[in-house]
Structure 1
Amino acid sequence: MTIEENIFKRYLPDFKKLKDYGFIKNNDAFKLEKLFKDNMFKAIITINSKGSVKAIVYDLENNDEFLPLRVENNQGKFVGEVRVAYENLLKNIRDNCFSKKYYIFPQSNRIADLIIQKYANAPEFLWKTTPGTGVFRNPETKKWYLAILDIDRNKIQKNKTGLVEIALIKLSRENVEKRLKQEHIYPGWHMNKKHWIAVILDESLSDNEIMELIEESHSFTIKKS
């Protein structure tokens, strides 16, 4: 994950605020050139219409890209100072021009919004060690019916890698057996696999299909009369 991806991974840009900050619109993207670290370095930052942030950092003394910035195991003092100054610049842009979103990927955020509309129930982020894990639970019974979290794809799809977000959904044992025969549905990761399934939130299943599964899961949390 790049420096930019890490800092902006759960944020969405406000394009009006970007213009007010000094970004210039160029075709389908916004661009900013900014000096930092005592004007020794220049960052050229580009944000596209989907909110993806890319940047090149130049060492102005050599008039060349400062590649040590991108080497994670480069722990030299000066490189570390440049990296901190650059990260602070990005965080300032983020705090002034971006709004927080719950998750990294579009379908994850759409599902969260649909749940909020249907059940008036926002995700709870309970663990500092896994800040991307949001749990949905019925406020009356405190029972979980959904968790959305980010993992490496190879945790549930062997021989494939890359960051993904998954939905963990509770179903009846009979429905778990039936659903696992379908494409794009997997055994629950880190959960009781007799009762939980996992769905990768990468558009493999439609929002409606996922919400149908969540409705069944939510039904288990309702207080019995």
Structure 2
Amino acid sequence: MKELKDFIKNKKIDFKKLEEFGFELIDNSYYYHTFLLKNQFKMSVKINLDNSIFTEIIDIETNEPYVLHLLEMRRSGYSEKVYKAYSEVLEKIQKECFEDERFKANYTKEIIEYVKNKYGDELEFLWEKSPKNAVVRRKSTKKWYAAILTISKRKLNLDSDEIIEVINLHNIVEEIKKLIDNKKYFPAYHMNKKYWCTICLDGTVEVKEIYKLIDISYELAK
């Protein structure tokens, strides 16, 4: 079986959803089997409790493992079809059974859940070189109303190299001026400081207060 290391990077498995998807728990590992390309291949996925994941494809006709789909430089017409079918299964498993865990702070997770439940919006990770930075945009206008970033406290002129998660939120100029105190509310990191502020997601500002500011920012993204 081939181990997939990048598949679970920054992801957390929801074991209940694995079972709902069709995985079966056997000897502390979850197994899933399906068939590809009109039953020409049997694909097996094994997920261990330590989050490691392995896959295997068996050619039904020969009963031998098929590996050409894994050789990126040598994939051609047929092996490309196998690879596409294989990838579609993995993408579905990842979407339905894994949670994104790039952000660790409880406040961040609560905020992500809040915007998802209230506005139906998901995080967008736009920067390949900054995989722990994301934005949330309003569907009707495509405008950002929040950015969740992972930065050093020193970026906020605080005397610490601690890495924290922060949120940038939009507001009117007068309110931004009132909010900024460099203790709870900071001039926006990497955004227009006239219209945006930064809040540390470490409990210095209560999450309910952040929800209110998210709602204001959402309205301003009309």
Residue type at the aligned position of 2:132: G
Distance 2:122 2:27 in 1: 31
Identity of aligned residues (%): 29
Write the deviation string for residues 20-77 of structure 1: whole angstroms up to 9, x where unpaired: 6749xxxxxxxxxxxxxxxxxxxxxxx8xxxxxxxxxxxxxxxxxxxxxxxxxxxxxx
Structure 1 residue runs of 4+, over 6 Å off?
A: none
Give yes or no for the alignment of 1:104 onto 2:113: no
**Number of residue pairs matched by the alignment:** 145
Distance 1:144 1:118 in 2: 16
Partner of residue 211, structure 2: 211
Write the deviation string for residues 147-202 of structure 1: whole angstroms up to 9, x where unpaired: 00111121114211121111000110000000113741111001111111000111
Give yes or no for the alignment of 1:128 onto 2:120: no
Q: Secondary structure at the match of 1:215?
A: helix
Written as runs of structure 1 = structure 2, the 5 A alignment for 1:62-77 is: none
Cα deviation, residue 100, structure 1: 2.9
Which protein shows a greater Rg? 2
Write the deviation string for residues 125-164 of structure 1: whole angstroms up to 9, x where unpaired: 1111111111111111111110001111211142111211
Question: Is the alpha carbon distance of 1:157 and 1:13 closer, same or farther for their aligned partners in structure 2, counting shifts above 3 Å?
Answer: farther
RMSD: 2.8
TM, length-normalised to structure 2: 0.57
Write the deviation string for residues 1-27 of structure 1: whole angstroms up to 9, x where unpaired: xxxxxx98844355788x96749xxxx
Question: Is the alpha carbon distance of 1:114 and 1:20 closer, same or farther for their aligned partners in structure 2, counting shifts above 3 Å?
Answer: farther
Question: Is the alpha carbon distance of 1:137 and 1:14 closer, same or farther for their aligned partners in structure 2, counting shifts above 3 Å?
Answer: closer
Asked if the contact 2:14–2:99 (Cα under 8 Å) also holds between the matched residues in 1, the reply is no
Asked if the contact 2:152–2:162 (Cα under 8 Å) also holds between the matched residues in 1, the reply is yes
Cα deviation, residue 104, structure 1: 2.4
Residue type at the aligned position of 1:100: E
Distance 2:114 2:132 in 1: 19
Question: Is the alpha carbon distance of 1:120 and 1:21 closer, same or farther for their aligned partners in structure 2, counting shifts above 3 Å?
Answer: farther
Partner of residue 59, structure 1: none
Partner of residue 44, structure 2: none
Distance 1:152 1:114 in 2: 25
Partner of residue 196, structure 1: 196
Distance 2:152 2:221 in 1: 29
Unpaired runs of 5+ residues, structure 1, are 1-6, 24-46, 48-94
Written as runs of structure 1 = structure 2, the 5 A alignment for 1:28-67 is: none
Unpaired runs of 5+ residues, structure 2, are 1-6, 19-24, 30-49, 51-93
Partner of residue 117, structure 1: 117
Written as runs of structure 1 = structure 2, the 5 A alignment for 1:121-160 is: 121-160=121-160
